[in-house]
Structure 1
């Protein structure tokens, strides 16, 4: 499994059999380093509806003629905008070709702004993505909560991707505890340094992970790792 980071919370995940992108906030992201036109994938996965995660999902899905996986209400919204979708919900899983996606709980909010109005985007979620025998856990935007320990106990997670930005999600201290609970040997920090309000030191966070016996990867946009 090869994972490429494109800033904020966007991850491109690829194996020999498939490619997916999670939370493709690219064109509006000053740190992405790539345009949505350059993305070729078999599926788009969304953790929730906020614009810094929903991003270019519709454009990418339509251009690639591939489905968007999302919690039911957000999937319905995408379908109404002309995209193919897979309606998901918390606790459910679905296998699509060689991709298996399971949606987990996350503690955050989820909505879409259209003009002066906000549209309910369903519950926010984390995603367990299994491809060719490897499992990535993308926690989405979440606070620390106790059932992250249960997610770690019930799933063999090869690598976790966790927000560290604080203010709007977990900060580094809570993300460190989440990493231990998830039992992942590798962690990618997400959702930091995109805006001044979520400025954090990713390298320092990964140094702290190392003290816990966990390998951290403070990736820059366009950088990849393999697990």
Structure 2
């Protein structure tokens, strides 16, 4: 089983066996996550999907205090290396790499990716994380794309972490199609409510998911759930 702890926006900590994997840390600038103590977060790995500030704001702080392995695309890794982060692993689209908790495949996302200082963040991506405890798709910020069907063909996805805030990414309707494409009935929502542009009607989203035969999980910041293989 995989323990999933939500820190707001698109930030999740996945505990897989005895390893912890933090994704897209944006905590200190997020008023909705003001109860989270960043100094207490010490993951083994940090994954970054793309370069926007609302996905990288706490990378440097957490990477330096935890000595976590930072995994992202080549451009983002190079940018953080200049900030003194040495424990890194660069990837790019279509590539896979095995780590001591499982295997990561870096997959396409349709979005943009500029780092906080205006540098190029390369092309945005998502991650498929495959382990003995389960396999999940973390989409990052993305539009709906037919490339997601390839994920469903290659992997047996237990759950998908999908943006549902609309405006900058998919909304709930496209997220439900994305779940169909990757072949899962279980969705964890992300990238919603943090800013006015992406505030959603939660009851409407839950109803839409139910009507489509999907389970939409909207996690409480600071709380954890456990999911695993089907």
Q: Aligned partners of 1:74 and 1:124: how far apart in 2?
A: 10
Matched position secondary structure for 1:98: coil
Q: Give ranges in structure 1 of 5+ residues lacking alignment.
A: none
Coordinate RMSD, CA, aligned: 1.3
1:54-79 C-alpha deviation (Å, 9 max, x unpaired): 12111111111121101011011111
Alignment-derived partner of residue 219 in structure 2: 219
Q: How many residues align?
A: 224
Cα distance, 1:182 vs. partner? 1.4
1:93-126 C-alpha deviation (Å, 9 max, x unpaired): 1112123211000000101132xxx100111001
Q: Give the alignment's TM-score, normalised by structure 2.
A: 0.93
Runs of 4+ in 1 over 6 A off after TM superposition: none
Alignment-derived partner of residue 27 in structure 2: 26
Q: Aligned partners of 2:45 and 2:98: how far apart in 1?
A: 12
Q: Aligned partners of 1:141 and 1:182: how far apart in 2?
A: 16
Structure 1 residues 203 and 135, CA gap change in structure 2 (3 angstroms): farther
1:132-156 C-alpha deviation (Å, 9 max, x unpaired): 3311211000011111122122111
Q: Aligned partners of 2:131 and 2:27: how far apart in 1?
A: 23
Equivalent positions of 1:139-218 (< 5 A) are 139-218=139-218
Alignment-derived partner of residue 53 in structure 1: 55
Q: Is contact 1:4–1:12 with CA below 8 Å preserved after alignment?
A: yes
Q: Is contact 1:6–1:31 with CA below 8 Å preserved after alignment?
A: no
Q: Give ranges in structure 2 of 5+ residues lacking alignment.
A: none
Equivalent positions of 1:77-92 (< 5 A) are 77-83=79-85, 84-92=87-95
Q: Give the alignment's TM-score, normalised by structure 1.
A: 0.94
Alignment-derived partner of residue 35 in structure 1: 37
Q: Aligned partners of 1:26 and 1:87: how far apart in 2?
A: 23
Equivalent positions of 1:2-151 (< 5 A) are 2-32=3-33, 33-83=35-85, 84-114=87-117, 118-151=118-151
| More divergent stretch after superposition (92-101 vs 44-53) | 92-101
